[in-house]
Amino acid sequence: MTELTTHTSLLLDAGNSRIKWAWHTAQGLRGLGNVARNEAGLNELCAASHAAYGHPIRVIVSNVAGQAFAQELTAHVIKLWGVQPEFPVAQPSAYGVNNGYSDPARLGTDRWAALIGARAAGNKASCIVDCGTAITVDTLTAQGEHLGGVIMPGLGMMHAALINNTEGISFQTTMQALDMLPFARDTAQAVGSGALYAAVAAIDRIARDITARLVIDSYLITGGNAEQIAPLLEKPYRHEPNLVLQGLAVIAGLAK
């Protein structure tokens, strides 16, 4: 087992589909992993984390998975480690970022943490794309002003909408195997490429509309489908897979 230090805290990014985690140590983020967001995933998360670093001093969670999940996670963490998880929420202004929402607390903590992570990493005016269950695009000025953003269905949600609402469409596919194919020759390819075309076209159009109003210095992309989508985009997006966790570390006072 890796030696535990007094600076070791467990950071969790609980999304709609998956949970990502990292340990914040004196050496930075270590022991990263991710699991499906279900009871089996929670058990796997706790077991893998415990095997890597033992007993966390703190557990800090970005949670967009709802109150029921927060209660389930809290029970797991208290039972295993005797630690009360911390669930930060978006603030009107903190960590060099001014929240652009008219009701600041309604901004998802994942988006809030991503903004803070981008700001803390020294990025100036930024376009931040998160490609998860939903795809979000947020704009941050060089002065730390969050101008707001866009939310749209992610790739899996687009697939599900067709499967669940259209007669005769039923298929199994892996997201990694999909590509943009204008001449798809079966239903799986047609739905998969259609979702990709929709996501890529929307993100590109949003980025063009943003840059018509603001000079952007950094294009950042994160989330489970980022590696698939980023190469297809017009702008030079930098893949930051741990952006939410990096921001969460700042919120928890573990990093600057």
Domain that holds residue 180: 125-241
Residue 173: which pLDDT band, with cuts at 50, 70 and 90? low
Please give the tally of structural domains in the chain.
2
> Per the domain annotation, does 162 fall within a domain?
yes
Give a yes or no: residue 97 inside a domain. Answer: no
Whether residue 104 is contained in a domain is answered as: no
Q: Are residues 83 and 133 in the same domain?
A: no
Task: Looking at the structure, tell me whether residues 196 and 137 fall in a common domain.
Answer: yes
Burial class, 80, CB count within 10 angstroms (exposed 0-12 / middle 13-18 / buried 19+) = middle
What CA–CA distances, in Å, run from 37 to 140, 223, 240?
29, 15, 21
Spatial distance between the Cα atoms of 92 and 5, rounded to a whole number of angstroms: 33
**Domain termination residue (choose one: 35, 70, 87):** 87
Do 129 and 183 fall within a single domain? Answer: yes
62: CATH: 3.30.420.40
Mean pLDDT to the nearest integer, 169-197: 75
Q: Write out the catalytic residue numbers.
A: 110
Model confidence over 192-249: pLDDT tens digits? Answer: 889 999 999 999 999 999 999 999 999 999 999 999 999 999 999 999 999 999 999 9
